[in-house]
Structure 1
């Protein structure tokens, strides 16, 4: 389960990419910038969700 500690950071990378992409789309004048910001927000939510889930999982294993 060591890989779970590192896979949560993939969501941060996706969020940064979609934020960058959203700003470039916003400057171009296309309507998809809002969608890119929404996906970035979802990626950040998944980062914090996975982080919390992993902490609960580790705490449960320490109690046993």
Structure 2
């Protein structure tokens, strides 16, 4: 999973994008530094991407 590309923010074009993962990963130590854990209890359809530059959040 850490080989996945970060992508670009659809709002500002920055490549400083954090991927938010939901659930209980077997090996959280294997995540890329630009991936974060969002927990295992999720209500609705939360955003799974976050731009570190402009703060925009979206669902990829």
TM-score range, shorter chain: under 0.3
- Higher strand residue share: 2
TM-score (structure 2 length as normaliser):
0.25
Q: Which has the larger radius of gyration?
A: 1
